[in-house]
Amino acid sequence: MTDSSPKLLEIVPLLEAIVGERNILLHPESYLYDETPKPVRPEAERNVVVVRPASTEEVSRILRLANERGIPVFVRGGGTGLSGGAIPTRPGIVMSMERMSRIVEIDEQNLVAVCEAGVTLRQLLEAVEKVPGLSFPPHPGDESAQIGGLVANNAGGARAVKYGVMRNYVLGLEVVLPSGDVLSLGGKVIKNVTGYDLMHLIIGSEGTLCVITKAILRLIPEPGATYTLVIPFDTTAEAIRTVPEILRSGVVPLALEYMDIEAVRAGERVTGKKWPYSGGKAHLMIIVDGGTEDELMHKSEVIERVARRHGALDVLVGVGRREQRDILEIRSLIYEGLKEETIEVLDVSVPIGSIAEFVERCQDEAERLGIKVLHFGHAGDGNVHQQVLRWGFEGDEWVESYSKFKEFAFGLARELGGYITAEHGIGMVKKEDMARTMPETALTLMRAIKRVFDPNNILNPGKVIDP
């Protein structure tokens, strides 16, 4: 804590009694921010106590205490979010889930993993890898993300085309309400229609309704080997028109990514590696998986036929492990490599058939405003990433152009029947955009639901939904 708030100081000994002195941090430096780009992230409130509970029981006692005294609680997972959802913005408690990092079990009989909320994606993947024949398919990016955060944000990622988002893998949750009450939802069952589905309401609620302490996740058989195809086109429209045709060809790719040539170039610069094709304005990167070489070849051929019919300049099939890894690295490191030069990464969701129009009109608008925007993303599920760069701007000069661009992109996404965020979430960063673009009837319901779960507004106040 940087200054002394009597309300907060008072509870420090009470928190110590719950988690032990060692798990209270009064100098919260490394618990203040997440991966949200600096230019747009909110200023963190430094007058906070970091508490690191080790059990559901401790989480419950902390919440009950905070709720009785009306003290805000900011739950923190791996801190890999891009919307400022983990940043404390008022004096209060930062509850870090890092000590709840136990994989309770990998249940081979029921094909599920049971994890505490603080288990990282990396930990889970390693544990599942040890079990022959099983896998956990979602891969929403940074592997230091924690399961609780992945669920709270309904994380997506490139493999969602074939394997779906986090929501599709959550079978059960243990959560703690602000009252301290512990609630088990779902379980090791696949189907369940007993009453309202509170679990599905909580998935994606960004820590504003309750604290997730445990998750029961579905595992599936290993997908087998992969091929990675790179398919360049002359225009965005041609590349994007190919996408629904591929999706209905009967071959469902593991990943179906769009990248404009500017994004490819940026990825090459960051990695020092070379993309397999140097021309073309718009590229598709497609990963297929399969149990046999025959199956992989068959899938690649089907996609090649569709792509050539839609004007592909070439179809390059990466077969070797290293070759595929290099391609993926170029795609994956665009954000990481350009982080320091990034204003924000937008992630609108639009109908698949409208991606081309969205990208082309945004490209034009960016040019008009003199702002550099790299376009890439999960074309197979209509999720476009727009990495907005500060290139060519001094100091804060970017602010006006950027806010105009964002307003244009969000307006266009809504006009095309889409939404302002597909997987990064609202957090602090898009809060006002959500209020502006969502009908009042929906907001009113959301605020009332927030009040049902969190009547004293202690969980992540100021984020997503203010009651």
The nearest distance, CB 159 to a copy of itself, in angstroms, is 12
- 79 is a contact residue toward a copy of itself (CB under 8 A): no
The nearest distance, CB 410 to a copy of itself, in angstroms, is 10
Please report, as residue ranges, which positions from 339 to 358 form the binding site for a copy of itself (by CB under 8 A). 349-354
Of the residues 453, 454, 460, 462, which one makes contact with a copy of itself according to CB under 8 A: 453
- 291 is a contact residue toward a copy of itself (CB under 8 A): yes
The nearest distance, CB 432 to a copy of itself, in angstroms, is 13
Query: In this structure, what are the phi and psi dihedrals at residue 265, rounded to the nearest 5 degrees?
Result: -55, -45
Please report, as residue ranges, which positions from 118 to 177 form the binding site for a copy of itself (by CB under 8 A). 133-134, 153-154, 156, 160, 164-165, 167-168, 177
Q: Which is nearer to a copy of itself, 8 or 177 (CB)?
A: 177
The nearest distance, CB 85 to a copy of itself, in angstroms, is 11
- 77 is a contact residue toward a copy of itself (CB under 8 A): no
Q: Which is nearer to a copy of itself, 21 or 108 (CB)?
A: 108
- 17 is a contact residue toward a copy of itself (CB under 8 A): no
Q: Which is nearer to a copy of itself, 198 or 369 (CB)?
A: 198
Of the residues 220, 367, 397, 436, which one makes contact with a copy of itself according to CB under 8 A: 220
Size of the site for a copy of itself (CB under 8 A): 89
The nearest distance, CB 443 to a copy of itself, in angstroms, is 8
- Helix 321-337 to helix 261-271 angle (10° resolution) is 100
The nearest distance, CB 268 to a copy of itself, in angstroms, is 27
